[in-house]
Structure 1
C-alpha cells in the first residue's frame, strides 16, 4: 500500500504546472488549456472568530459509502502544500479497499487564504506553543488555533459528511509537527491519532517537552502517536564552507535525536501516559523538506491500521 501511495503522489506532483510555463495558442481544432482540478476535492475560505484570521479549507470525501460508524478523518496541516498528495493517497486506499479491508478517510487540509504553499508568518503564529515572550514576536498562537479546529472547523466538517468521532487523526510536519505534539500533550482527547512529522522540538528551548505532563493527567483517552524524521535532517551533507555553517545549526536542533528520544520516552511511559500505541520511523535518505511526503504516506498507513 505504501508504494502505491508514494507512486500516486509522485504522479500528482509531476502533473503540476509550474508558474511561468509557456502557453501556446490553441488551434482551431483543440480546446484551450484549463486550470487543473483535483477529483473529489472541494475548498472554501473560512474566517475564524477565535484567531481573527482566514483559512483555506480543503476536503476530499471517499466515493464509497461511509462505514457503519462513519468515515475516519485525517486533518492535515500546511494544507495548501500537503492536501493534494494526502487526498490522492486516500483515493488509492479507496481503490484497494476490497483487497486490504481498509476504509479510506475523509481528508481535510487546513491551509491559508494567501494561497502560498507554506505561509511562513501564519504558520509561525498558529503552530507554535505559548512559550514566554513569543506573542511579541508573532508566535505562540497554538492554543487559539486549536480552539479554531475544535470549535469552528470540526463542527463544519461533521455537518458536511458523516464522521467517525472515534477515528480522527492530526498530521503536521516541522512546525506542524510541533503543533501536533502540543495538541497531544495539552488536549489529548481532540484526536485519537497524532502524527508528528519532523517536529520542531527545538522551538523555544524545547518548551513543548515541558507540556508532556498534561498527557499523564488525561490517561483515559488512549490516543496513539507516530513520530517520523528524515535520516538526513541532522546532517548538511559533504563538508563545504556553507555546509559547515548549516551543520552547526542542525547539530543544535538535533532533529533526529530529539524525535527518536521522545518516541523512546513515550514508549517507555506508554502505560502511565495512557497511550495506546507509539511509533517511530526514521525515513532513509530524506532531508527536512523531502521527508514531508513519505511521512504522509507512513502516517496514513499508521492511522488506518487496525
Structure 2
C-alpha cells in the first residue's frame, strides 16, 4: 500500500472568535494583550474587566467560563465582562523567567532561583498604565470594577498587590497562591491593610492535594521528595491563613479548598466559583 502523501501546507489554526491581540512594549520586554470583548452592548457604567495573568495558560479557559456564564447571568451570577489576558511571546503556557521577574518583589525566602526577580512595581505600573489604557480604548469599561486574577506565583503577586496597593484593582482572585515565596511580606502588608472607600471582594482557592501527594503519585520514585517539598511550602495552609488575614482586614472574602484537585487541575474549577463571587450582586 502506497504511503499517503504529506500535506504540503498546514491547515489554518483554530482561533477563538471574538478575541483580539495587541502587542505592547515595556522595559521588561514585549507582552501580548489578549482581549475578549462581549458582543452585547455595554451596561450604562461599562463592562467590568478581568485582568488575567499567565494568559498563555488560561486565557481560553477564562474566556469560555465568562462567556457561558453571561449567557444566563441570572442563573449563574456571572455577568458579561471583558477578559484582558496578559501573555508573553511564544507558545509555552508558562514563562518561568519572565513571570519570576514580573510577579515578585525580590528573591524567594526559601531558595535561590536562576533568573532575575524584583520587577513587581514596574509590572504593576504596566498593568495600571499601558494595559488599562489599551483596554479602555477598545470598549466601554467600568473603571470601578477591575478584577486581578492570578494563579500560583501570579496568585502571590495578586495578594501582594492587595496588601500593598489595594486601590490598584477593585477585586482580587488568588488561586493556589505561592505564599511561600515571601510569607512575611504578605503578612506584614495584610496586617496593615485598611479600606477607606469601597471594600473589595477577595477570592482565594486551592486544591486539596496541593500540600501532599495525589493517590497516583504515592508509588513514584520521587514521592518522598515531592511530599517533603509540598509539605514545606504548605500551599493549603498558606492560602487558608491568607484568607483569614484578608477577612480580618474587612474585605469581603471567600476561601475554598477544592476536593480531589491539585495545583494544575484546580484552576478551571476555581475560576468558575470565583467569577460568580466577584461579578454577582453589584
* TM, length-normalised to structure 1: 0.82
1:86-125 → structure 2 map (5 Å cutoff): 86-97=62-73, 102-125=78-101
Helix, strand or coil at the partner of 2:211: coil
Q: For 1:256 and 1:100, how far apart are their aligned partners in 2?
A: 27
Q: Does 1:166 align with 2:170?
A: no
What does residue 287 of structure 1 align with? 262
What does residue 33 of structure 2 align with? 57
Instruction: Give 1:191's match in structure 2, choosing from 147, 159, 169.
Output: 169
Q: 1:251 to 1:135 in 2, by over 3 A?
A: closer
Instruction: Give 2:201's match in structure 1, choosing from 209, 224, 227.
Output: 224
Q: For 2:82 and 2:108, how far apart are their aligned partners in 1?
A: 36
Please say which of residues 67-76 and 113-122 is displaced more in the overlay.
113-122
Q: 1:253 to 1:219 in 2, by over 3 A?
A: farther
Helix, strand or coil at the partner of 2:270: helix
Q: Deviations over 1:203-262 (max 9, x none)?
A: 04543222224523x432411111100000001232654111111111110000111122
Q: 1:116 to 1:137 in 2, by over 3 A?
A: closer
Q: For 1:64 and 1:142, how far apart are their aligned partners in 2?
A: 35
Instruction: Give 1:202's match in structure 2, choosing from 167, 180, 184.
Output: 180
Please say which of residues 76-85 and 291-300 is displaced more in the overlay.
291-300
Q: Deviations over 1:187-218 (max 9, x none)?
A: 111111100000000004543222224523x4
What does residue 82 of structure 1 align with? 58
Helix, strand or coil at the partner of 1:202: helix
Q: Deviations over 1:151-170 (max 9, x none)?
A: 11111111211001111101
Q: Deviations over 1:124-173 (max 9, x none)?
A: 11011246998995012111100100111111111211001111101100
Q: For 2:264 and 2:79, how far apart are their aligned partners in 1?
A: 29
Contiguous gaps of at least 5 residues in structure 2 = none
Q: 1:153 to 1:214 in 2, by over 3 A?
A: farther
What does residue 7 of structure 1 align with? none
Q: Does 1:258 align with 2:217?
A: no
Q: 1:165 to 1:240 in 2, by over 3 A?
A: same
Q: For 1:185 and 1:143, how far apart are their aligned partners in 2?
A: 13
Helix, strand or coil at the partner of 1:262: helix
Q: 1:39 to 1:261 in 2, by over 3 A?
A: same
2:207/2:259 contact within 8 Å kept: yes
Q: For 1:86 and 1:113, how far apart are their aligned partners in 2?
A: 19
Q: Deviations over 1:48-107 (max 9, x none)?
A: 2xx331111100011111011111110110011110111111211232236557521000
Q: For 1:23 and 1:165, how far apart are their aligned partners in 2?
A: 55
1:188/1:221 contact within 8 Å kept: no
Cα RMSD, aligned residues only: 2.5
Q: For 1:190 and 1:165, how far apart are their aligned partners in 2?
A: 11
Contiguous gaps of at least 5 residues in structure 1 = 1-21
Q: For 2:274 and 2:155, how far apart are their aligned partners in 1?
A: 12
What does residue 12 of structure 2 align with? 34
